[in-house]
Chain A
Amino acid sequence: MLGRSAALVALLVGSVACSSAATDSTGLAGPNGLGANALGPPLATSSEVGKWVEEKTGQCDEVVPRTLEEFGEFVGPLRAKLYAPYVAEWATCEAGPYERLGLVVFQREKLADFQNSWKGAMSSGEVSDNPDFGFGNGFALSGTLGLELLGLHELRCTPVVPGADVGHTLPAEAEGCTYVQKPGHHH
């Protein structure tokens, strides 16, 4: 169990160093443009995501394609309602500590709609917090442990508190949403 848990745990421990170098003087614009395009390599299939995670962690070598019905079973009906309409495909693999890590590829052209939908759900009280995946360029992982060293970001669609230490921040596709990579954070 512990052996399997090691890879992403190791990643999270080394998470601090990645952010500042990728953030420009404004703290907003990334070198590759705005939105998810600034979040690293564009991955368009769940198998690509799996290979990328394997390169990074040495795990996730058995990627199991999953159906959207299974996605609903995985995240439950509420989060499925918010995520699934914008998911192109997804799969799972094992990458410690995650026995079942979701590799989720989004419909890139619908990322803004996805973010606006989530904002609306928060405004109405349907959900209480931001999306709980770790986001990359067109894809996300269901677990966020170690996301910084993987280059992944949180997606926040809530106002940033003035003066808050938000770390590496990039504007997301929808107005009012940002991709955030907070130093030292790894949940």
Chain B
Amino acid sequence: MRLKRFGALAVAALGIVGVTSVFVQSGVAVAHGSMTYPASRTYACYEDGRANSGGGDLNPANPACVAAVQIGGKQPLWDWYGNLISQAAGKHREIIADGDLCGPTTKYDAYNLARNDWPVTTLQAGARINFKYNAWAPHPGRWDQYVTRDGFDVTQPLKWSDLEPAPFDSITNPPLGNGEYSWTGTLPNKSGRHIIYSIWQRNDSPEAFYSCSDVIFSGGNSGGDTQAPTAPGTPTATATATSVSLSWAAASDNNAVSGYTVYREAGATDVAVATSSSTSATVTGLTADTAYQFYVVARDAAGNTSPPSAVVSVRTSTGGGTTPGACAVTYSVPSQWSGGFTANVSVKNTGTSAVSAWQLVWDVPAGHGITQAWSAEVAVAAGKATAKGASWNQNIQPGQTVSFGFNGTSQGTPANPTSFALNGASCAAA
């Protein structure tokens, strides 16, 4: 009975939500929760509580966990995977105050306690490990793992400025298996007590999850490389309507610079838009006649990151829109009725650079109209429909797909659009 009920609900659910069904069908791995390796504070205290109770309760023995329970109760441990902000939309640094990074809501506030006795995971500096993140529910998104800077003091409230400026590990839609996401990443070459701060920003929703994993880095390269590269030179920029080519003077390092990351300034949380092993990169998928600001950060093989370069401001040119684009569009009509239909649209960035503030344009077939859209704003003018991403899905990372849907009207059988253009560039039909 239970299985039958669950199955029915699941099937019904997948049929309702286009975004989810797209990812399930494509086999892309997706998730929900908290980091389990290295263990987040809530997960470590939950496991500690389980181990020290006779079953059916949570009674942690670790003093920091005990203190957290005294402040916030046991519910944050029972719900150890729910440390989230539902309307984050990538504005992490804007909406989370210094000192609140590990528990940004009242429920999890106790996990911000600045103590040196939280449960820790000992890790080999510079080693490759399998990060593990529990997977309650399927959601696409991006995980960014930051580490605290050298000299970080865990007995002081964790501030944004305590984190290295760039994540040492990032991944989008990691593989899912056995109820958890797992991916391989290289640890930074740090020593001693640190915090790995993980942010999972869903891209089908503004919801984001946060976790602090207390770690001790040991071993690694004896006296390992902790010296960061110098800042790269100020980038120079050349723009077209939809792309900007950047080049900059190389950074230097005591060993060697292993690569560069280009960031686009985007309010409180800047966006990594390109990586390069050389001193140039091209950012594509931009909007014509729009001002952008970029800067570059260098990194070395040990994961040390440089200060940012100076910012270059550039404006894309007006025009064109005929450049072939690195995008693919899937358009489907899952249901129709007399005089109306529902359409689902998925837009995949098949290129190597992020597409920012995406707009998808298509010719509306004769006799058709659009009445209501979700996960995007859709407007029709002069026979063309323009869909703009919502605040939480307006950027499309390389390889990433965003989806939206709408209800439309039609006279007779609805016809599919024949072509789409993303930010002025034509897309392939998937």
**Interface set of A (CB-CB < 8 Å, partner B):** 1-2, 5-7, 9-17, 57-59, 72-80, 97-100, 102, 127-129, 132, 142-143, 145, 149, 165, 182-187
Contacts and interface: CB of A to CB of B under 8 A. Distances in A.
Contacts of A16: 16-17, 374
Interface stretch (B66-74, B212-220, B235-243): B66-74
A99 B69 CA distance: 17
Interface string B72-99: 1111001101101010000000000000
Contacts of A77: 70-71, 73
Given A16-B17, A76-B71, A128 B136 contact: no
B107 interface: yes
A128 B5 CA distance: 38
A18 to B, nearest CB: 9
Given A14-B16, A184-B205, A98 B79 contact: yes
B75 A76 contact: yes
Given A58-B2, A76-B72, A100-B75, 17 more contacts: A7-B2, A7-B6, A10-B6, A12-B137, A14-B10, A16-B374, A58-B5, A79-B72, A97-B81, A99-B78, A128-B106, A142-B79, A143-B82, A184-B374, A184-B375, A185-B86, A185-B205
Contacts of A132: 105-107
Given A10-B9, A143-B79, A185-B86, A79 B106 contact: yes
Contact of A14 (B5, B13, B100, B204): B13
Contacts of A97: 81, 136
At the interface, is chain A mostly helix, strand, loop or mixed?
mixed
Contact of A59 (B2, B78, B86): B2
B20 interface: yes
7 contacts: A9-B137, A14-B12, A58-B2, A76-B75, A99-B78, A145-B82, A184-B205
B169 interface: no
Interface string B172-192: 000000010000000000000
A11 B79 CA distance: 17
Contacts of B390: 165
Given A7-B6, A14-B12, A59-B2, A185 B207 contact: yes
Interface residues of B, number: 43
Contacts of B86: 182, 185, 187
Nearest to B202: A184
Contact of A74 (B17, B73, B207): B73
Contacts of A183: 374
Given A75-B73, A76-B72, A185-B86, A14 B136 contact: no
A80 B69 CA distance: 13
Contacts of B110: 76
A56 to B, nearest CB: 9
B105 A1 contact: no
B71 A1 contact: no
Q: Which residue, of A75, A128, A187, has the highest number of chain B Cβ atoms within 10 A?
A: A187
B56 to A, nearest CB: 9
Nearest to A121: B106
A11 B9 contact: yes
B84 A187 contact: yes
A59 B5 CA distance: 10
B97 to A, nearest CB: 9
A152 B36 CA distance: 29
A1 B17 contact: no
Given A59-B2, A128-B105, A143-B79, A13 B10 contact: yes
Contacts of B380: none
Interface in B117-149: 136-138
A94 B249 CA distance: 59
Interface string B12-50: 111011011000000000001000000000000000000
B382 interface: no
B1 interface: yes
B73 A13 contact: no
Contacts of A78: 71-72, 106
Most B CB contacts (10 A, CB to CB) among A9, A142, A184 go to A184
B10 A10 contact: yes
The residue among B13, B14, B106, B138 with the most chain A CB atoms within 10 A of its own CB is B106
A2 B179 contact: yes
B75 A14 contact: no
B363 to A, nearest CB: 27
Nearest to A61: B2
Contact of B78 (A98, A182, A186): A98
A98 B1 CA distance: 20
Contacts of B75: 74-76, 100, 102, 142
Contacts of A187: 82, 84, 86, 207
Contacts of A7: 2, 6, 9
Nearest to B372: A20
A73 B9 contact: no
Contact of B13 (A2, A5, A11): A11
B6 A13 contact: no
Contacts of B32: 9
A17 B2 contact: no
A78 B108 CA distance: 12
Contacts of B12: 14
Contacts of B375: 184
Q: Which 3 A-B pairs have the closest CB atoms?
A: A14-B13, A76-B73, A13-B13
Contacts of B71: 76-78
Contacts of A80: 73
